[in-house]
Structure 1
Amino acid sequence: MQRWRPLLTALVIAAASLTPALAQEASNPAPRGAMGILIRNPDTSRGEPPFAIADQFGKVQRLVEPSPGVSLDRFVGERIRIKHDTGRTLLASQLELPTATSSRSEPRVQLGSVSPAQFIPPRRAREIDPPRSFGVIPTQATEDGGEAIDLDKVLADEARRGETLPEPVRGGSIEPLPADDYYPEGQYHESSPEVIDMGIVSPRRRSPLLHQEPGPPMPLGGYGRDSGCVTCNPPSQRGFYARADYLLWWFDGMATPPLATTNDLGNPPILGDAGTRVVYGGEILDNARNGAQFTIGAWLDDRRDLAIEGDWMFFGNENDAFSYSDPTASGVFGRPFYNTATDAQDVQIISQPGAAAGSFSVAARSEFESFGLRARTGVGCHELGGGGGCSCPTCTSGRGPLSGALGGMRQPAPAISRIDFIAGYRYLNLEESLAFSENVAPVTPPISRFLNESFNASNEFHGADLGYVYDLRSKRWNLELTGKVAVGGTRQRVGVNGTTSIGGTTTTGGLLTPAGQVGYYSRDRFSVVPELSARASYRLTDQLSVSAAYSLLYWANVVRPGDVIDPTSPTFDWQETSLWAHGLNFGLDYNY
């Protein structure tokens, strides 16, 4: 034991001497984060923070807002390290300020005088091209494996060459590096370190001095499958979007009076008599229709708060037809009508044994299309989840970087909900027709009868379109709810034609078209056209999505051919109705 005493004594003395150094090292851990130079903001007229952080070239990288109890005036011109980088605007509490000892030992950096006209704040970086690289920026490793600007080496290298720091780009103006081209505000790439190095070079331009390929840019708007988050303010600036939809819709059928009857007992097919039934007429043109809709729009500003878009929707002609022919007079068939002379139901015989033989046909057609041009602007946006508010100016949850700084490191938002207001012009057109053709050879008298009648109706709407679009967007899924109403006028036009030829003599009018009704008529009516739509989409790539939607449309005050048929009136009389249309949309969306 005696021989080990000197060794134990030496170990105790060494431990005692190392304890204060270890305690001091534990209480003063190695600094972390990127470094920059604290300067004054010469332009605070628009409410900008009074301080900023610049790199060694004098380019502004972050704005700095003072924190209660922290005075930044005495640190202007000194090197500052960022503890928590959350975006363009930082709080003073997020900075690691120099101690009194370090402040005396390190010289202040003189960047020269900066005028308000020269100052360009970081938030306008999107409007500025990435600056030219002056060379490789010396860096030093941080304890977390990242890199930070080594200003000591920069100053020493410049001093050895007897040169001053390079002047700011573009004639001395402070031009910010567009850091959000690669790391948009509030977004962090899964491969990035915890703190973004302020000396990063935009990947959109390769520096000839760095000799390395740029990394992949973030997806548009942060909506990519690999980004893991979305933002209210997409960083892709201006862009356009397009959508192509296949439509499967159902329209209100056209109402008509009974147009053809038969009698199972062999008697004249008069409505109301025993054995009489209607074989054509009532509700026609009520089958599903196939159509298409194309929508295209473009964002007019960098924040995607204003867009102009247009759409065109159309359907193929919907046709309905009926025909009957009996040249041997073996069946019973007729055209019912109300006889004003007898004040009772009557029938015009087309075919009946011993009475007449002939043919009869009906052709109905309907065509619908719509066109719209409107402006779209954001009125509200809210990030769902994450650690802070979004960055668009209309966001209801704050200004983004500042609100994220108050809560520490801002986390990505898994989804956003946005409301847009739309206003513009809406055009709708509905063209329909109903035509009859009759060829009969009566037994008594044996004189052939030819009859042609037609009703044509046109509705043309012009009006102002107003509404809202609610957009709930996540990483891959998107829900879009649209409600709008068009208010304007409908130009109604109706053409009534009819001719009857008996024994070579042709007269105006027919069975359903009295001579006093034949003509062309037009008038204007006030109309409203509300429209609702719900759409769900799934993002296949950063630009391409597939979607499915349900739409409902109502058009008040339209005129249709079947409603104006009235053989009991000697003159034409307007009869208007409304149009309902609804159906499914299957679309392919592209965003650029």
Structure 2
Amino acid sequence: MKIRNLVLSLTLAGLGLNQAAAQGTYPSAPPAGRHVGDGVRSVGDSSSYAASTPDVRPTEFRTTTPTGGYIDNETIVDMKMLAPTASHGTGANHYTQSASNSSSLGWFSTEALLWFGEKNRSPAMLTTAGTGVQAIAGANGVNTLFGGNDGSDRGLQPGYRVSWGMYLDDCEKVAVAGRVYGLFTTSSSEAANSDATTSIGLPVYNSATNNNDAFQVAFFDGGVNGRITGNASVESELQMFGSDSSLHLLLGRANDHRADLLVGYTYNRLKDSLGVGYTSTNNFTGDAIPDGTIFQGSDLFESTNEFHGGHIGVLSSVTRSKLSLSTLAKISFGNMHQTRRSSGSRTEEFNSVVTPTADGFYSPSSYGSSRDEFAFIPELGIKLGYAVRDNLDFTVGYTFMFWSSVAMAGDQVGGAFDPASVTAGGVITRPPASDVSDSFWMQGIDLGLNWRF
């Protein structure tokens, strides 16, 4: 019995020594497979593993490598390939997601903006009519060139938007980003010039008669009493500039789409101005004004709105091959600092003697005010991208922005006084200047290029 037990013990010891020799000393030599002959990695092995035992199983039961080959005793398998920590398939950038399987962590995009905004809102400020018809707003045969109930179109405004950002981690969960955008200062204007064959008027509401009226810049009654000749013009300008910085926080993602939460700071400035000028030479003998008297005047209304606040939003994207579709919903809350300024001047010239007055036609000589109001600025956008190269997209999109509380230049125009006081050489009696707050919107097309790096 003792001899039999001794032989059995030696046999078991020999088997254990053979197994240890096969495994070698790790990590100086790689471990053998947990199951003899299968070369399959077992739980607890290192992230890199070389099977030292040939795999004798049929090919349909053998493990393939990411390149399509089979794992054998010379193949190193990186376990990170089996469980990646992040998906780079959706790319990363503000409002233009990648349409390629790039692992780029940064982005830079530049866009051309073609936007248009809400119409100018102001009282009627320039009217024309036919021969013998006084250019009084609302009367039959009178055409309103600027202002009034229908407003005045500002036209298409070009602009720019530059965006950039960078993910702070390889998993693309947190990023910092920024934008600078704006619209170039553009002007829209209406003008009329007449040798009295047509009538030109600067309309007002006559506070003395409680009716619509007008200062006649040009008028001709058919030759009975002579004529008034002159010209008048109205011009408006709008300028917008904005910037923001955001922290992007991953909400969710899959291989072909992702959604990010945006939080950060927004600055925006919206400037609006409206000016009117006229020259009128009176040779009408049917009134009390000496023939040859020249009236000149100009008015300027300006408003500036500066916004500081925080924002929150959601940026999402979907990719399919070379195409990508991104959507942005963002709203900013904060303080709007409104500033209003107006100025005006008039002169009356007769026999080369110029007499200035203390104010303008629509505005006092100088006026200014400011105030702060709570405001919000929503922004909505959609953008389609096409990957022309692995790291370069062409994009086309649409953006809508809304300002809840702003001061606009046209809202300052009162236009309620007796126009007879214009030709009397005195100060016009008019109501106090208006400090109305209004809303404003803009929308348009965006064309751009996005580079990922």
Using the size of structure 2 for normalisation, the TM-score is 0.74
The residue identity in structure 1 corresponding to 2:268 is L
- Give the match's secondary structure for 1:563: helix
Aligned match of 1:289 in 157, 169, 173? 157
Q: Deviations over 1:397-437 (max 9, x none)?
A: xxxxxxxxxxxxxxxxxx43322111111111111111111
CA deviation after TM superposition for structure 1 residue 142, in Å: 5.2
Question: Are 2:241 and 1:365 aligned?
Answer: no
- Give the match's secondary structure for 1:448: strand
- Normalized per residue, the structure richer in strand is 2
CA deviation after TM superposition for structure 1 residue 479, in Å: 2.0
Q: Tell me: CA distance 1:303–1:435, structure 2 relative to 1, closer, same or farther (3 Å).
A: same
Aligned match of 1:336 in 181, 203, 206? 203
Contact 1:55–1:199, Cα closer than 8 Å, also in 2 = no
| 2: CA distance, partners of 1:474 / 1:499 | 62
Aligned match of 1:275 in 136, 141, 159? 141
Match of 1:545 in 2: 393
CA deviation after TM superposition for structure 1 residue 459, in Å: 1.0
CA deviation after TM superposition for structure 1 residue 55, in Å: 6.0
The residue identity in structure 2 corresponding to 1:259 is M
The residue identity in structure 1 corresponding to 2:252 is G
User: Greater CA deviation, 274-283 or 460-469?
Assistant: 274-283
Aligned match of 1:430 in 257, 270, 279? 270
CA deviation after TM superposition for structure 1 residue 144, in Å: 8.9
| 2: CA distance, partners of 1:84 / 1:313 | 59
| 1: CA distance, partners of 2:187 / 2:364 | 26
Match of 1:460 in 2: 306
Using the size of structure 1 for normalisation, the TM-score is 0.58
Question: Are 2:261 and 1:421 aligned?
Answer: yes
| 2: CA distance, partners of 1:556 / 1:539 | 37
Q: Deviations over 1:541-583 (max 9, x none)?
A: 3211222222211111111111111133521221121111112
Contact 1:490–1:524, Cα closer than 8 Å, also in 2 = yes
Aligned match of 2:182 in 300, 307, 314? 314
Q: Tell me: CA distance 1:433–1:194, structure 2 relative to 1, closer, same or farther (3 Å).
A: farther
The residue identity in structure 2 corresponding to 1:267 is V
Query: How many percent identity over aligned positions?
Result: 21
The residue identity in structure 2 corresponding to 1:439 is T
| 2: CA distance, partners of 1:38 / 1:543 | 47
Contact 1:426–1:463, Cα closer than 8 Å, also in 2 = yes
- Give the match's secondary structure for 1:508: coil
In the TM superposition, what are the counterparts of 1:198-217 in structure 2 within 5 Å?
199=76
| 1: CA distance, partners of 2:211 / 2:340 | 28
Q: Deviations over 1:157-194 (max 9, x none)?
A: xxxxxxxxxxxxxxxxxxxxxxxxxxxxxx975x4425
CA deviation after TM superposition for structure 1 residue 56, in Å: 4.5
Q: Tell me: CA distance 1:501–1:38, structure 2 relative to 1, closer, same or farther (3 Å).
A: farther
| 1: CA distance, partners of 2:38 / 2:159 | 58
Aligned match of 1:193 in 50, 69, 73? 69
- Give the match's secondary structure for 1:352: strand
How large is the Cα RMSD of the aligned pairs?
3.7
| 2: CA distance, partners of 1:80 / 1:582 | 66
Q: Tell me: CA distance 1:338–1:310, structure 2 relative to 1, closer, same or farther (3 Å).
A: same
Match of 2:286 in 1: none
Q: Tell me: CA distance 1:363–1:286, structure 2 relative to 1, closer, same or farther (3 Å).
A: closer
In the TM superposition, what are the counterparts of 1:356-435 in structure 2 within 5 Å?
356-381=228-253, 383=254, 415-435=255-275
| 1: CA distance, partners of 2:65 / 2:378 | 42
Contact 2:200–2:232, Cα closer than 8 Å, also in 1 = no
- Give the match's secondary structure for 2:134: coil
In the TM superposition, what are the counterparts of 1:150-299 in structure 2 within 5 Å?
189=66, 191-193=67-69, 195=71, 199=76, 221-222=88-89, 236=103, 239-264=105-130, 266-282=132-148, 283-299=151-167
Aligned match of 1:445 in 280, 283, 290? 290
The residue identity in structure 2 corresponding to 1:591 is R
CA deviation after TM superposition for structure 1 residue 78, in Å: 5.2
Structure 2: tracts of 5 or more residues without a match = 1-21, 79-86, 92-96, 221-225, 284-288, 417-429
Q: Deviations over 1:321-372 (max 9, x none)?
A: 222223x433211111111122221110111122421221222111112111
Structure 1: tracts of 5 or more residues without a match = 1-35, 40-53, 59-76, 96-120, 126-136, 147-186, 202-219, 225-229, 384-414
Match of 2:382 in 1: 534
CA deviation after TM superposition for structure 1 residue 286, in Å: 3.2
Match of 2:4 in 1: none
| 1: CA distance, partners of 2:204 / 2:402 | 32
Q: Deviations over 1:295-327 (max 9, x none)?
A: 10011112111110001111222211222223x
Q: Tell me: CA distance 1:370–1:293, structure 2 relative to 1, closer, same or farther (3 Å).
A: same
The residue identity in structure 2 corresponding to 1:441 is T
| 2: CA distance, partners of 1:586 / 1:55 | 57
| 1: CA distance, partners of 2:241 / 2:247 | 21
Aligned match of 1:486 in 329, 332, 343? 332
CA deviation after TM superposition for structure 1 residue 587, in Å: 2.1
| 1: CA distance, partners of 2:111 / 2:331 | 21
Contact 1:37–1:80, Cα closer than 8 Å, also in 2 = no
Q: Tell me: CA distance 1:83–1:491, structure 2 relative to 1, closer, same or farther (3 Å).
A: farther
| 1: CA distance, partners of 2:139 / 2:24 | 100
Q: Tell me: CA distance 1:84–1:439, structure 2 relative to 1, closer, same or farther (3 Å).
A: farther
Match of 2:15 in 1: none
- Normalized per residue, the structure richer in helix is 1
Contact 2:310–2:333, Cα closer than 8 Å, also in 1 = yes
CA deviation after TM superposition for structure 1 residue 495, in Å: 0.7
Contact 2:345–2:359, Cα closer than 8 Å, also in 1 = yes
Q: Tell me: CA distance 1:377–1:452, structure 2 relative to 1, closer, same or farther (3 Å).
A: same
Contact 1:532–1:552, Cα closer than 8 Å, also in 2 = yes
In the TM superposition, what are the counterparts of 1:344-359 in structure 2 within 5 Å?
344-353=211-220, 354-359=226-231
Match of 1:388 in 2: none
Match of 2:442 in 1: 581
Q: Tell me: CA distance 1:194–1:281, structure 2 relative to 1, closer, same or farther (3 Å).
A: farther
Contact 2:260–2:315, Cα closer than 8 Å, also in 1 = yes
Match of 2:357 in 1: 507
